[in-house]
Amino acid sequence: MRCYFHLVNSHEELIDDEGIEVSDLESAKAQAVLAVSELRQEYGDVIEDWSGWHLHIVCPEGTLLHSLSLSTTLH
């Protein structure tokens, strides 16, 4: 199944238009946690406040499958 990972807050939406193929939702969640970890390593010093940001996992039809809060995941 193809999943897309969108970064969203109340003011912005950074859309993943490529997505990745995963075997199931649990694999997508694991990839999301990895992506969040990479974001923290790359931008953690630049973006001090991740509150309000979420990583949404969506299917090709745009249905929200899972959401991770960056503020709680990263700290």
Domain range list for the chain: 2-74
**If you average pLDDT over residues 15-33, what whole number do you get?**
95
Q: How far apart are CA 45 and CA 36, in angstroms?
A: 14
Residue 39 has pLDDT above 70, yes or no: yes
Residue 45 has pLDDT above 70, yes or no: no
- For the question of whether the overall pTM of this predicted structure is more than 0.85, the answer is no
Q: How far is CA 23 from CA 3, 18, 26, 31, in A?
A: 10, 16, 8, 11
* Letter string b/e over residues 20-31, b meaning 16 or more CB atoms within 10 A of that residue's CB: eebeeeeebbee
Return the pLDDT at 74: 45
Return the pLDDT at 75: 43
